[in-house]
Chain A
Amino acid sequence: MPKLNHSTIPDENHVVRRCGHQVIERDLVSNDVIGLFPKSMQLRVDKNEKYLSMNLLEHCSGSKKDRLKAVVAIQRSKAATRLSLQSGIAVIDAKRIRKIGSEHKRTLTVRHTPNSGDVSYSRVSGLPLDNGDELLTAALADEAYQDFMLLYQVDALPE
């Protein structure tokens, strides 16, 4: 299969980041989601990650809820086991990612890098490989939480 073209994602487009249920911050008493731990936007050093995995929202067609459902369907098809309904997805616009990077003296690149298993696959590169910039990842996690939904909420969106 020929290699699919990689391209820079324009500022006005959005990427979707999957967040496992263990990095979602929940209130101890109410169990309500109140944020994302900064770890949700860090590289997994034990898996030798060099970039954050994302999905390009605009690659999917339809309204925003259709696109969110399509992205979750892609993520489910790639997962070896079922995804927890208490995990979630965060939508971030590419412009904000670049701006947060520049505020922390980092050049973050946001690229659409499709592959045969996931044509919406994208990545954010330029983060320190040792996760040494905690302020950067905390700022990205705060930004990601601005537009965040749990999987069961995405599933419940009307068709």
Chain B
Amino acid sequence: MPDIVALGRSAQQPLSASAVVDPIMSPIERPSQGRAEGSLYQPQIIPILTGAEKLESDLFKNRAELKLLTSKVAMHLSFEQRQSLFLSIDRLLAAEEWEDESYEIDLESFQSFLRFVIHAKIEHMPNIGVGPGGTVLAGWHAKSKSVHAEFFPADHCMLMIKLQSDRGLERFAWRGHVARLRDVVFHNGAIECL
């Protein structure tokens, strides 16, 4: 007695109950195979977060995205630079300090900032803040000089230099592409800040 019997086999030949039926057509999935009708996956319960839980979840996501962006260019940053960035991210996006007027950090603005840090090969990492809309604020200080920059999406930035010279207080403001930022700081006598 064969173990495998084709479905189209003649009816005269007896079939053993133990024989395995050889399907002519490939098996198709029936909707009721122990699952909810029409669903290929087990049902999942997705909690809808509100209030403090949602805030913590949103901030966690923002922190993770920023650190992921940083890790993608980690080979261009020193350990100390990465560590200071991560510390600043954690401080600025801490749920326990969050207020109505706080902003998540905009990913594109952060990319512009990272591009500047890598392109300019800065020696000192800046003090970091967050502006309205999530722009990245950066500040450097050296003796009687300071440099403040705001980084916008698409590699745009705004720069402010303050110098205390023998002739008195001098301030400069400039807007442009991050690729020019180091040159502008250098030519205005504040490169030691970076």
Extra inter-chain contacts (13) besides given A25-B129, A35-B146, A83-B99, CB under 8 Å: A20-B102, A21-B99, A27-B127, A28-B87, A31-B91, A34-B141, A37-B129, A37-B148, A39-B129, A39-B132, A46-B133, A84-B98, A138-B173
Contacts known (A80-B100, A81-B100, A83-B99); A28 close to B141, Cβ less than 8 A: no
In angstroms, Cα B102 to Cα A142, docked, is 21
B97 adjacent to chain A (CB < 8 Å): yes
Q: How many residues of B contact A (CB 8 A)?
A: 34
Query: Majority SS of interface residues in chain B?
Result: mixed
Fill in one digit per residue for B129-163: 1 if any A CB lies within 8 Å of its CB, else 0. 11111010101010000101010000000101010
Contact size range, A: 20 to 34
A60 adjacent to chain B (CB < 8 Å): no
B84 adjacent to chain A (CB < 8 Å): yes
Contact, CB under 8 Å: A28 / B127: yes
Contact, CB under 8 Å: A84 / B88: no
Contact of A23 among B125, B137, B141 (CB under 8 A): B137
* B-chain residues with CB within 8 Å of residue A138 when the two chains form the complex: 148, 160, 162, 171, 173
B123 adjacent to chain A (CB < 8 Å): no
> Residues of A at under 8 Å CB distance from B?
20-28, 31, 34-35, 37-39, 42, 44-47, 79-87, 134-135, 138-139, 142
Tell me the nearest residue of chain B to A83, going by C-beta: B99
In angstroms, Cα B101 to Cα A24, docked, is 13
Contacts known (A22-B102, A134-B173); A34 close to B131, Cβ less than 8 A: no
Interface hits, B80-126 → A, CB 8 Å:
84, 87-88, 91-92, 96-103, 125-126
In angstroms, Cα B127 to Cα A34, docked, is 10
Contact, CB under 8 Å: A38 / B160: yes
Most buried by B among A38, A83, A139: A38
Chain B proximity of A138: nearest CB distance (Å): 5
* B-chain residues with CB within 8 Å of residue A87 when the two chains form the complex: 97, 99
* A-chain residues with CB within 8 Å of residue B129 when the two chains form the complex: 22-25, 37, 39
